């Protein structure tokens, strides 16, 4: 590889030919501020915050797109550079709704941080300021263009997801991000993944905050308020309280939830184990009886919505299993309600999820095993963090506590659901035992691990070649689905997650500055916390879960895997949606 020698603030560094000034600066340990830049996704030089002085260039250049040359010397912190950045920030503020005290992104806002660092005058450019109505049409998101800085990160993230339902409308000072023909977001083919929220540097995009609904439920003495938490939440919640990325805070999270006032604290991992036994049973039935293959997982509501919009002819390939969140809610309001002598109508199930699409999922049809919604309220990891802070709980000082039983029991297979490939590996562990008729020592299927967007593997199970594929992110999902639609795929089983990297990188996870997103593999670090928990688990196969076994056979709640009652409570249906 041909290398180029440059100097950044007098620091000599050698970088590959074709590198940008920004990349060279990072290699030299110098951070240049950015607002629009997203590595490999949004390298457009639009915000002009990253301007620098470079030999051989006329005037200031944007570091994120300007290529280095042999012998180039770059200065990133001269008076001229600082003045240009300050002026640019002041111009951005001239049309920005500066309601920092009430903004959910206050103290975690990239614009706010830069304005403080550069000592800006927020009233330097007074004048015409466009005014916009909030777009609150979607169940998961609020768009406030009064705070938008036109960085276009959200547009790039949506395009990367192969959804591309937003873009720049109008021109000049009236330019605004929105949908074509100024449609409301809920009238588009948005899949509710929330990836746009995660990359917004300010408070222009936020999830719909449902914490007031939770506080109201907790204050209602006539209700039994039960909470369940997804596996990916424990791998990221600590980031909201300054803990290292990838810290597993399961015990402290459970303690916090109890202190918030929830009557029971259950683990969505129980529902993940339940999903696996139903899904594995469905897969085996399809294989043995000539059913539609490949069978595709249905745990991710963003992915399911993507399929309903873009691949309605392939909906028959999706497993009919509800997601773990919905299965857990269904069992709470049927089996557990019966066990406790409670009326399902008096139970409020709150789900804490890494996912904004769950806010859409709880309102889907065919998700009401007890005649009422399986789950009543879904909040994100970020919303839970805000509840903990508002309650005055010192999260880091909380003791480690365990989930309530029986719906707090889980296996290692359930824990890894939060990482791409985790559902596939969990399913293979159970299918391998059931197809071979023995308790196999092999529980690790490492070929489907890792953060690659698309992975394929073939396993010999009971004399059969079981070909599998794992995709994460709608871009990879499209690649897989195009092959299936064209009849070019010979996979038996396919796992698809709507978010790149799976749930650990969901649209409801703690927001990290773009510099961290560019330089740290959040997906891998958070996923490691889940794989470490799996490795430490005593039980690592879903069908070995005592809580799951308690539900099936011998006159128990369900007659057997895939029985009529299980289908009634734990399975669902899909609908073709009109694409815009």
Write out pLDDT tens, residues 329-375: 999 999 999 999 999 999 999 999 999 999 999 999 999 999 999 99
Q: Are 473 and 499 in contact (CB under 8 A)?
A: yes
User: Cα separation of 580 and 570, whole Å?
Assistant: 31
At 448 the pLDDT is 97
DSSP helix/strand/coil, 148: coil
Q: Do residue 61 and residue 155 come from a single domain? A: no
Categorize the per-residue pLDDT at 408 as very low, low, confident or very high, splitting at 50, 70 and 90: confident
φ, ψ dihedrals at 269, nearest 5°: -55, -30
Categorize the per-residue pLDDT at 303 as very low, low, confident or very high, splitting at 50, 70 and 90: very high
Q: Do residue 398 and residue 266 come from a single domain? A: yes
At 545 the pLDDT is 96
Report yes or no on 268 lying in a domain.
yes
Q: Do residue 370 and residue 398 come from a single domain? A: yes
- Write down which residue in 46, 77, 108 finishes a domain: 77
Smallest CA-to-CA distance from 450 within 490, 430, 420, 475 is with: 420
578 has a pLDDT exceeding 90: no
The helix, strand and coil proportions of the chain, stated in percent and rounded to the nearest 5, come to: 40, 15, 45
Tell me what the mean pLDDT of segment 409-414 comes to: 94
419: domain CATH number? 3.40.50.1780
DSSP helix/strand/coil, 459: strand
127 has a pLDDT exceeding 80: yes
φ, ψ dihedrals at 429, nearest 5°: -60, -45
Q: Do residue 287 and residue 389 come from a single domain? A: yes
At 491 the pLDDT is 98
Q: Which residues contact 5 (CB under 8 A, 6 or more apart)?
A: 12, 13, 14, 70, 71
Smallest CA-to-CA distance from 471 within 423, 535, 519 is with: 423
Report yes or no on 370 lying in a domain.
yes
Q: Hey, how many other C-beta atoms are within 10 angstroms of the C-beta on 169?
A: 15
Report yes or no on 578 lying in a domain.
no
Report yes or no on 575 lying in a domain.
no
At 554 the pLDDT is 81
At 111 the pLDDT is 98
pLDDT more than 70, % of the chain? 100
Q: Are 247 and 381 in contact (CB under 8 A)?
A: no
Q: Are 468 and 494 in contact (CB under 8 A)?
A: yes
- Write down which residue in 77, 102, 128 finishes a domain: 77
Kindly report which listed range (192-201, 249-258, 369-378, 548-557) carries the lowest average pLDDT score.
548-557
Report yes or no on 54 lying in a domain.
yes
Parent domain of 156: 93-207
DSSP structure class, residue 319: -
Model confidence pLDDT, tens digit, residues 71-109 = 999 999 999 999 999 999 999 999 999 999 999 999 999
Say how many residues make up the chain: 580
Tell me what the mean pLDDT of segment 103-119 comes to: 97
DSSP helix/strand/coil, 555: coil
DSSP helix/strand/coil, 212: helix
Q: How far is CA 96 from the centre of its chain?
A: 28
Q: Do residue 186 and residue 222 come from a single domain? A: no
DSSP structure class, residue 67: B
Looking at 180-237, list the stretches that DSSP marks H as alpha helix, in order from N- to C-terminal side. 195-199, 211-219, 231-234
At 451 the pLDDT is 95
Model confidence pLDDT, tens digit, residues 549-577 = 999 988 889 999 999 999 999 999 999 99
Q: Are 498 and 477 in contact (CB under 8 A)?
A: yes
DSSP string for 18-65 = T-BHHHHHHHTT-PPP-SS-BTTTB----S-TTEEEETTSSS-EETTT
Q: Hey, how many other C-beta atoms are within 10 angstroms of the C-beta on 526?
A: 29
200 has a pLDDT exceeding 90: yes
Categorize the per-residue pLDDT at 579 as very low, low, confident or very high, splitting at 50, 70 and 90: confident
Model confidence pLDDT, tens digit, residues 452-508 = 999 999 999 999 999 999 999 999 999 999 999 999 999 999 999 999 999 999 999
Model confidence pLDDT, tens digit, residues 182-191 = 999 999 999 9
At 406 the pLDDT is 87
Tokens read off for 431:
């299918």
60: domain CATH number? 3.10.20.740
Looking at 487-562, list the stretches that DSSP marks H as alpha helix, in order from N- to C-terminal side. 514-519, 522-536, 546-549
Torsion of CA 49, 53, 57, 58, to 10 degrees: 80
User: Cα separation of 354 and 10, whole Å?
Assistant: 43
User: Cα separation of 328 and 71, whole Å?
Assistant: 62
At 482 the pLDDT is 98
Smallest CA-to-CA distance from 422 within 236, 246, 275 is with: 275
- Write down which residue in 180, 207, 234 finishes a domain: 207
Q: Do residue 531 and residue 514 come from a single domain? A: yes
10 Å CB burial of residue 432 (0-12, 13-18, 19+) is buried
User: Cα separation of 246 and 229, whole Å?
Assistant: 17
111: domain CATH number? 3.30.70.20
Count of domains for the chain? 3
At 202 the pLDDT is 98
Q: Do residue 356 and residue 337 come from a single domain? A: yes
Report yes or no on 579 lying in a domain.
no
Q: Do residue 417 and residue 535 come from a single domain? A: yes
434 has a pLDDT exceeding 80: yes
Q: Do residue 264 and residue 407 come from a single domain? A: yes
Smallest CA-to-CA distance from 231 within 244, 248, 212, 210 is with: 248
Q: Do residue 260 and residue 401 come from a single domain? A: yes
580 has a pLDDT exceeding 80: no
Report yes or no on 549 lying in a domain.
yes
Model confidence pLDDT, tens digit, residues 16-53 = 999 999 999 999 999 999 999 999 999 999 999 999 99
User: Cα separation of 153 and 158, whole Å?
Assistant: 9
Model confidence pLDDT, tens digit, residues 281-301 = 999 999 999 999 999 999 999
φ, ψ dihedrals at 120, nearest 5°: -75, 160
- Residue found by looking up tokens 């919009």 in the block: 309
Q: Are strands 224-229 and 347-353 parallel, antiparallel or unpaired?
A: parallel
Report yes or no on 88 lying in a domain.
no
Tell me what the mean pLDDT of segment 174-197 comes to: 96
Q: Do residue 227 and residue 370 come from a single domain? A: yes
Q: Is the dihedral of CA 524, 529, 535, 540 positive or negative?
A: negative
10 Å CB burial of residue 425 (0-12, 13-18, 19+) is buried
Q: Are 501 and 187 in contact (CB under 8 A)?
A: no
Query: 20 pairs with which residues across the strands?
Result: 67
In this prediction the pTM is 0.97
Q: Do residue 27 and residue 109 come from a single domain? A: no
């Amino acid at each position: 590889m041909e290398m180029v020698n440059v100097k950044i603030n007098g620091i000599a560094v050698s970088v590959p030919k074709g590198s940008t000034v920004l990349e060279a600066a990072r290699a030299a340990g110098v951070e240049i501020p950015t607002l629009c830049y997203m590595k490999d996704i949004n390298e457009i030089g639009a915000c002009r915050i990253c301007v620098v002085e470079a030999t051989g260039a006329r005037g200031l250049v944007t570091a994120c797109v300007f290529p280095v040359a042999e012998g180039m010397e770059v200065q990133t912190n001269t008076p001229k550079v600082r003045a240009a950045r300050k002026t640019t920030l002041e111009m951005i503020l001239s049309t920005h709704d500066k309601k920092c005290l009430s903004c959910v992104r206050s103290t975690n806002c990239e614009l706010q941080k830069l304005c403080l660092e550069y000592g800006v005058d927020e009233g330097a450019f007074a004048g015409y300021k466009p005014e916009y109505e909030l777009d609150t049409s979607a169940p998961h998101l609020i768009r406030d263009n009064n705070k938008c800085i036109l960085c276009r990160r959200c547009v790039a993230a949506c395009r990367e997801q192969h959804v591309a339902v937003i873009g720049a409308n109008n021109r000049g000072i009236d330019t605004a991000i929105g949908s074509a023909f100024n449609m409301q977001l809920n009238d588009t083919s948005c899949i509710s993944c929330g990836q746009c929220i995660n990359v917004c540097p300010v408070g222009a995009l936020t999830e719909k905050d449902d914490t007031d609904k939770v506080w109201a439920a907790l204050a209602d003495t006539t209700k039994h308020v039960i909470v369940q938490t997804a596996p990916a939440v424990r791998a990221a919640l600590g980031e909201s309280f300054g803990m290292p990325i990838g810290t597993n805070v399961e015990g402290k999270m459970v303690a916090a939830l109890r202190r918030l006032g929830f009557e029971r604290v259950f683990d969505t991992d129980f529902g993940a184990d339940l999903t696996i036994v139903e899904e594995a049973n469905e897969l085996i039935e399809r294989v043995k009886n000539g059913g539609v293959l490949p069978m595709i997982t249905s745990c991710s509501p963003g992915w399911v919505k993507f399929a309903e919009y873009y691949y309605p002819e392939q909906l028959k390939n999706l497993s009919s299993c509800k997601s773990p969140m919905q299965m857990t809610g269904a069992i709470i309001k049927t089996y557990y309600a019966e066990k406790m002598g409670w009326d399902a109508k008096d139970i409020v199930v709150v789900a804490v999820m890494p996912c904004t699409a769950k806010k859409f999922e709880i309102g889907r049809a065919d998700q009401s095993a007890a005649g009422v919604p399986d789950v009543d309220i879904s909040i994100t990891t970020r919303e839970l963090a805000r509840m903990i802070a508002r309650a005055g709980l010192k999260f880091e000082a909380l003791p480690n506590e365990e989930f309530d039983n029986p719906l707090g029991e889980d296996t290692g297979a359930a824990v890894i659901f939060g990482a791409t490939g985790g559902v596939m590996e969990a399913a293979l562990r159970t299918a391998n035992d059931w197809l071979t008729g023995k308790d196999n020592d092999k529980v690790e299927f490492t070929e489907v691990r890792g953060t690659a967007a698309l992975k394929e593997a073939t396993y010999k199970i009971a004399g059969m070649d079981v070909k599998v594929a794992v995709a994460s992110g709608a871009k990879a999902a499209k690649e897989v689905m195009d092959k299936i639609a064209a009849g070019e795929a010979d996979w038996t089983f396919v796992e698809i997650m709507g978010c790149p990297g799976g749930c650990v990188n969901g649209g409801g996870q703690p927001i990290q500055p773009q510099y961290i997103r560019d330089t740290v593999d959040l997906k891998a670090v958070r996923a490691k916390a889940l794989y470490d928990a799996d490795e430490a688990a005593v039980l690592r196969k879903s069908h070995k879960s005592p809580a799951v076994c308690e539900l099936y056979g011998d006159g128990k709640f369900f007659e057997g895997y895939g029985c009529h009652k299980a289908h009634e409570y734990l399975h669902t249906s899909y609908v073709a949606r009109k694409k815009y």
